[in-house]
């Protein structure tokens, strides 16, 4: 099973262009994470994909609460959201999210039975120091992000490895390096008893490279940003995936 996750970021989608169902003949799961105001439209019009959200607040109360601008896990569930992206590097940077906040979001989302897509990734200056520095950076993120996450929840978590320098840059990581990182991340997760977590790659994925990534047994799926906003571009990616042996 491979997962293809579309992160529409703050782009305005042309929902009509997405309505036609692609000919899906494979074991793939497609998840679309639109900006919050488009969740309902995606749910109503794009029957062939599952619904994801790009973020969630770290508190949730039965009657809502005085948290201006925020959206709770319960609200996401109400709109049929099954997956939530947490800790995207753009939220870490522009929303000033810390690993501690990310951890709270994860614990709450798991409790609310959402599937968590946790984004981790290093900046370029760390990667230039080598894979061992990258491994340390990622471990430091994971240690806090997954604090108190028990193995009961491991089937509900994806790690999306997204090197920051590869996001939106047109420059992907090499399959060799991604595979090495996947091995190191899995080794770390195993020390916490989290052996079943799925590993995704994100960073300038397009129809020209998705085949190479998804052929690898180490990579359970991809998180696609820029190339997921336009239906035609995204369907080109799907076509490549559908032809994979």
Catalytic (active-site) positions: 88, 162
Q: Does 205 bind ligand PEP (CB under 6 A)?
A: yes
CB of 186 to ligand PEP, least distance (A): 21
Closest to ligand PEP by CB, 135 vs 162, is 162
Q: Which of 114, 126, 224, 241 binds ligand PEP (CB under 6 A)?
A: 224
Sole window of 76-84, 102-110, 185-193, 224-232 interacting with ligand PEP (rule: CB under 6 A): 224-232
Q: Does 202 bind ligand PEP (CB under 6 A)?
A: yes
List Cβ neighbours of 189 (8 Å cut-off, separation of 6 or more). Answer: 142, 146, 159, 195, 197
Q: Which of 204, 214, 234, 241 binds ligand PEP (CB under 6 A)?
A: 204
CA distance 166 to 97: 20
Sole window of 34-42, 52-60, 135-143, 221-229 interacting with ligand PEP (rule: CB under 6 A): 221-229
Largest CA distance in the chain: 51
Q: Does 167 bind ligand PEP (CB under 6 A)?
A: yes
The encoded tokens of residue 225 equal 């940003």
Sole window of 11-19, 136-144, 188-196, 201-209 interacting with ligand PEP (rule: CB under 6 A): 201-209
CA distance 96 to 77: 25
| Contact footprint for ligand PEP (CB under 6 A) | 7, 9, 162, 167-168, 202-205, 223-227
């Amino acid at each position: 099973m491979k997962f293809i996750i579309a992160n529409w970021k703050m782009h305005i989608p042309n929902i009509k262009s997405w309505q036609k169902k692609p000919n899906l003949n494979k074991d793939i799961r497609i998840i679309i994470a639109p900006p919050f105001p488009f969740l309902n439209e995606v749910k109503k019009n794009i029957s062939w994909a599952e619904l994801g959200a790009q973020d969630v607040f770290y508190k949730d109360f039965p009657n809502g609460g005085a948290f201006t601008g925020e959206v709770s896990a319960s609200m996401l569930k109400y709109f049929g959201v099954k997956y939530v992206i947490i800790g995207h590097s753009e939220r870490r940077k522009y929303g000033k999210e810390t690993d501690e906040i990310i951890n709270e979001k994860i614990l709450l989302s798991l409790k609310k039975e959402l599937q968590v897509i946790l984004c981790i990734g290093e900046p370029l200056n760390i990667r230039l120091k080598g894979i061992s520095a990258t491994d340390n950076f990622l471990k430091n993120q994971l240690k806090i992000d997954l604090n108190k996450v028990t193995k009961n929840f491991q089937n509900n978590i994806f790690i999306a490895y997204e090197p920051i320098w590869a996001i939106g840059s047109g420059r992907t990581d090499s399959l060799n390096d991604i595979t090495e990182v996947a091995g190191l991340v899995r080794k770390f997760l195993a020390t916490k008893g989290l052996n079943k977590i799925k590993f995704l790659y994100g960073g300038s994925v397009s129809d020209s490279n998705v085949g190479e990534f998804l052929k690898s047994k180490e990579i359970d799926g991809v998180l696609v940003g820029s190339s997921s906003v336009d239906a035609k571009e995204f369907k080109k990616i799907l076509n490549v995936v559908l032809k994979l042996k």
